[in-house]
Structure 1
Amino acid sequence: MYTHTTQIRVRYGETDQMGYVYYGHYASYFEVARVEALRHLGMSYKELEEEGIMMPVLENHSYYHHPAIYDDLLSIEVSIKNIPSVRIIFYYRIFNESGKMVHSGETKLAFMHAENKRPCRPSEKMIALLAPFFEPGGSEV
């Protein structure tokens, strides 16, 4: 399993009238964590796009546990539990500074050829970068 943690500080404009993070911002937090996890792995979204591979979101699920509030420093843990095939699932857990889980969720994305919009497999580079984090013969998504 590959896991990476990214931190984000809640900005005032991300909160609602009650002072809580507005629910729509969690999808953006997921995206930041996903992009940074791939960058840390050694592959950027930009590289994938330059190779002609897009990654549209097929599903996004969010679970609210406790409110995050303005100026909280959030740690967003993102995990990839399986070697991807034509789809990849990212799992998220978001913690505040006191270690309380405030949010969790997952997103399912597809690999798609940018030119013809048809499903494809991830690049060999991505598989090679992920392989050390999985047992030989690991599960595919």
Structure 2
Amino acid sequence: MFTHQIKFRVLYSDTDKMGYMYYGQYAKYLEMGRVEAMRSLNLSYKSMEESGVMMPVLNLNVKYIKPLFYDDEVTLVTKVFKMPDTRIHFQYDLLNPRGELSTIAETTLVFVDCESGKPCLIPSNFKTKIEPYFS
């Protein structure tokens, strides 16, 4: 299993009239978790796209358990439980400043050949870097 963790602070612009982090903002933070998890493996969307592979989101599921508020420092844990093939499945835990589980989420992304627009296997450099976490 591959796991990566970051912290971020809820911005004022990300909250609604009730002072809660607006539900529509969660996808942005999940992407940040994915991007930083990939970066920790020396991978990036930019380099993948330059090599001819995109990773569009196929599915997004979010379960809100406890609200997050303006200026909360949030711990975002990003996990990959299964070795990717043509898809990669990320799971996320968002913890509030007290360490309580606030939100759980999942995204599934598909490796897509930029030229054909069709699904493809995980790029070899990505596979090489993530495979040790599953052996």
Q: TM-score range by the shorter chain?
A: over 0.9
Identity in percent: 41
Following superposition, the deviation at residue 7 of structure 1 comes to: 1.2
User: 1:139 is matched with which residue?
Assistant: none
1:34 matched to 2:19? The reply is no
User: 2:12 is matched with which residue?
Assistant: 12
**Secondary structure of residue in 2 paired with 1:88:** strand
Q: Specify the code of the residue in structure 2 equivalent to 1:126.
A: F
Task: Name the TM-score, length of structure 1 as normaliser.
Answer: 0.94
**Secondary structure of residue in 2 paired with 1:24:** helix
* CA offsets 1:43-98 (integer angstroms, 9 cap, x no match): 11111111110001110000001000000011110001111110110000000121
Following superposition, the deviation at residue 130 of structure 1 comes to: 0.7
**Secondary structure of residue in 2 paired with 1:68:** coil
Runs ≥4 residues deviating over 2 A: none
**Secondary structure of residue in 2 paired with 1:16:** coil
Task: Name the TM-score, length of structure 2 as normaliser.
Answer: 0.98
> What is the rounded CA distance, in whole Å, between the counterparts of 2:2 and 2:41 in structure 1?
9
> What is the rounded CA distance, in whole Å, between the counterparts of 1:99 and 1:132 in structure 2?
29
Task: Extract unaligned runs of 5+ from structure 2.
Answer: none
User: 1:94 is matched with which residue?
Assistant: 94
> What is the rounded CA distance, in whole Å, between the counterparts of 2:45 and 2:54 in structure 1?
8
User: 1:129 is matched with which residue?
Assistant: 129
> What is the rounded CA distance, in whole Å, between the counterparts of 2:95 and 2:80 in structure 1?
18
- Alpha-carbon RMSD across the aligned residues, in angstroms, is 0.7
Task: Extract unaligned runs of 5+ from structure 1.
Answer: 136-141
